[in-house]
Amino acid sequence: MSERPVINTIHVQASRSYDVLSGKGLLEDIGEQILRIGAPKKAMIVSDDNVFPLYGRKTAESLARAGIETGSFVIAHGEGSKCMTVYESLLEHISSQQLTRSDMLVALGGGVTGDLAGFAAATYQRGIRFVQIPTSLLAAVDSSVGGKTAINLEHGKNQVGCFYQPSMVVCDTDVLKTLPEEEFRNGMSEVIKYGMIGDAAFLERLKKVPSGEWIEEVISHCVAMKRDIVARDEYDTGERMLLNFGHTLGHGVESCSGYEIPHGLGVAMGMAVMTRASEKMGICRPGTSEILSEVLQMYHLPEEAPYTPKELADAAMADKKKTGDRLRIVVPEEAGRCVIRSIPAGELVRWAEAGSMNR
């Protein structure tokens, strides 16, 4: 007799409440899980051309066993698919398949798939249900939870989107076995971010025990932290901004590199620069940057950006997080505690300078 998988359930309380399930082998029973939230007649699986060949069939078969009619829409992998053209063809496809408001989209993939499918679900017929099946570590710990959906415009990332919560998130940790090592590192940068903004003991354990050895726990810990933040600030007007720790300069890094340096690596550099700067300015407890540095090294993440402070600050300021002349940045006070500060936009370069390793 096959054993039932151990399911870790985290309930998210937001404008739409839902469960985030995680554990080994959950894909097998995804159809059954979906029935719990009310059976759709049809489910359209949205996935990319790396993930679909690996897990598309298993997902479709499970849905079929639960009596759900399925279809699929496969996008090219990579950030380029988070665009108007792909969004439009996805909508045209589901419309041609006559999906109605009682049907659903199933996002099977990383953050790109989830953001695109989520936005399509939010806007098709003024909103149909969608289920997230995150397959990258980044999607599991970050993008699949919290309801931010978006696509990019030529002049900026995530420029069109909305808040739209999924009806359920199901993370089968077995799928991470096929995730390329670089993508795992990308996700680890966000995991470390959770430790820095809210849990020093978690950071300490990440340093002692490789995350791969307790990945189920790592994922559910991060999801629980995000759940708590989202419950208090779903629409990102205050505390949720903490999740942007390392992201302002991180986006600067990504942009300077013409998006050659991936997001997670940019965030790692951004966190390291901000922590050194905060320590140098006497805001942060001495020794914090050393703690962060040890964890980043453990997961082979970079600590210094290959650009000048001015290049970084200029690129970061072109980013959408600038509000008028002021900019909100996330500043560490110690490992496990960060605060949001509003600074004149022109001061960002001072932070980048103070946090540079060459000074």
Ligand X SMILES: NC(=O)c1ccc[n+]([C@@H]2O[C@H](COP(=O)([O-])OP(=O)(O)OC[C@H]3O[C@@H](n4cnc5c(N)ncnc54)[C@H](O)[C@@H]3O)[C@@H](O)[C@H]2O)c1
Enumerate binding residues for ligand X (CB under 6 A): 48, 50-51, 54, 77-79, 82, 109-113, 115, 135-136, 138-139, 142-143, 146, 148, 157-158, 175-176, 178-179, 183, 186, 263
Point out which residues pair with 170 in neighbouring strands. 21
Q: What is the DSSP string of 152-206?
A: EETTEEEEEEEE---SEEEEEGGGGGGS-HHHHHHHHHHHHHHHHHH-HHHHHHH
Rounded to whole angstroms, how far apart are CA atoms 125 and 290? 51
Nearer to ligand X by Cβ, of 165 and 288: the residue is: 165
Three-class SS state of 239: helix
Q: State which residue, 31 or 111, has the beta carbon closest to ligand X.
A: 111
For residues 116 and 118, give the distance between their C-alpha atoms in angstroms, rounded to a whole number: 5
In the complex, the smallest distance separating the C-beta of residue 323 from ligand X, rounded to whole angstroms, is: 19
- Residue 135: partners with Cβ closer than 8 Å, 6 or more residues away: 51, 55, 108, 109, 110, 175, 176, 179
Query: Of 81 and 278, which CB lies nearer to ligand X in the complex structure?
Result: 81
Beta strands at 148-153 and 104-109: parallel, antiparallel or unpaired: unpaired
> Amino acid identity, residue 268?
A
Q: Where are the alpha helices (DSSP H) in the chain?
A: 30-35, 51-65, 84-96, 111-123, 137-138, 181-198, 200-208, 215-232, 247-256, 263-280, 288-298, 309-317, 348-354
Least separation in angstroms between CB 4 and ligand X: 23
Instruction: Name the residue nearer to ligand X (CB basis): 8 or 136.
Output: 136
Nearest to 254 by CA among 266, 242, 244, 246: 266
Neighbours of 28 (CB within 10 A): 18
Beta carbon nearer to ligand X, 135 or 275: 135
Residue 79 or 204 with smaller CB distance to ligand X: 79
State the minimum distance, in angstroms, from the CB of residue 359 to ligand X: 31
